Amino acid sequence: MQKVVAAGIGITKFGEHWNKSLRELAVEAALKAINDAEIEHEQIDAIWIGNMSSGRFIGQEHLGALIASDLGLNCGATRVEAACASGGLAIRQTYLALLSEKIDCALVIGVEKMTDLPTEEATVTLAAASDQEWEAYYGVTFPGLYAMLAKKHMHEFGTTREQLALVAVKNHEHGSLNPIAQFRNRITVEDVLNSSPVAEPLNLLDCSPISDGAAAILLCREDFLKPEKPVYLVASGHAVDTIALHERTSLTEITATKLAAKRAYEEAGIKPEQIDFAEVHDCFTIAEILAYEDLGFCEKGNGGKFVEDGETSLQGRIPVNTSGGLKSCGHPVGATGVKQAVETVLQLREEAGERQVKGARIGLTHNVGGSGATCVVHIWKKEF
């Protein structure tokens, strides 16, 4: 069977880019990936672009043609939307196309320009990924939805406010070592607990920021291009659940994560304990704790203790969010899933600098849309 290899990666700094447009960010990341792969532009057969809501954020649709033309390419270019999982799903669509052997080499770009809108309007735009009739109509935005998940988890399993805060503390520690991170400051549990309340029990420092940025990865069939340090995308799992929380069977797990992970593990022929590190979707601190459990890294209900015991730090049993995660690195929503892949390739190439996970051979990326209605899980492996 043909293998899919990561031939090149590129990423911009995440943050507030007042002097750069969406197209400039996308092109910057794309050119870095192309140069990293050392290929010619005309060797690219297709482009997939992960983007949640450029029409609402900046008034620009038709991103496929826009970005392809700015790159001087006439190949097929397709935008993929799955809320905050848009980047991960763009990678999956590319992976499937490469396995079909219809194309040899494709460019995946994740991009979002969010800070052109005031915070209130950006929040309304993000709420479009929730159920408009049953949630957004009543004024519930994503902090409120994830707060409900947090309260239920705390009630059923005794998860503490301090354990939630430790997720943010850990990810800021990791992000302080990442030169492209939006926030490189270290924080304490007290900082999180004393930050402005957003939706009980979540405070400001429990929440990922509004960000601008882009990331890109060039994926190829192995017989087309095999880099000196080959990192392979060996499995892809995708699943969905109801958008509205009230229709779910449980508020203490993300069913889409469990199903997507199961499919990815089965395709890769591995078990959760074989994963050396992971980039997971920590849009809110409770989301990372749920991910530990739903991905099989610890037992259900033990996610709070898992982070408290240091298991997910750089020195822990399974480092999680070495990039700083969405919390510290930033969350330009369409770019996040591709950023996770870029970080994973850097780790597996042993090019992650001070945040390098020693001896890592298998990495996992976990990208979620909405409050868990969509999930894409990818497994990456190095072979050198």
Taking a C-beta distance cutoff of 8 angstroms, is the pair 224, 127 a contact? no
For position 384, what pLDDT does the model report?
Answer: 86
- The residues, any chain, with a CB within 8 Å of residue 369's CB and separated by 6 or more, are 82, 83, 84, 85, 86, 89, 129, 375
Count Cβ atoms within 10 A of the Cβ of residue 119 and give its class: 0-12 exposed, 13-18 middle, 19 or more buried: exposed
Q: Domains in the chain and their CATH numbers?
A: 4-118+210-221 (3.40.47.10)
Q: What are phi and psi of 170, to 5 degrees?
A: -60, -45
Which long-range contacts (C-beta less than 8 Å, at least 24 apart) are formed by 346-351?
346/9, 347/277, 347/322, 348/229, 348/231, 348/380, 348/381, 348/382, 349/229, 349/231, 349/382, 350/229
- What are the catalytic residues? 84, 331
SS3 call for 366:
strand
Closest CA to 355 of 229, 170, 136: 170
For the stretch 12-48, pLDDT in tens is 999 999 999 999 999 999 999 999 999 999 999 999 9
Q: What are phi and psi of 133, to 5 degrees?
A: -75, -40
Taking a C-beta distance cutoff of 8 angstroms, is the pair 44, 106 a contact? yes
pTM of the model: 0.98
The distance from CA 333 to its chain's CA centroid, rounded to whole angstroms, is: 8
Kindly give the parts of the chain with pLDDT less than 50: none
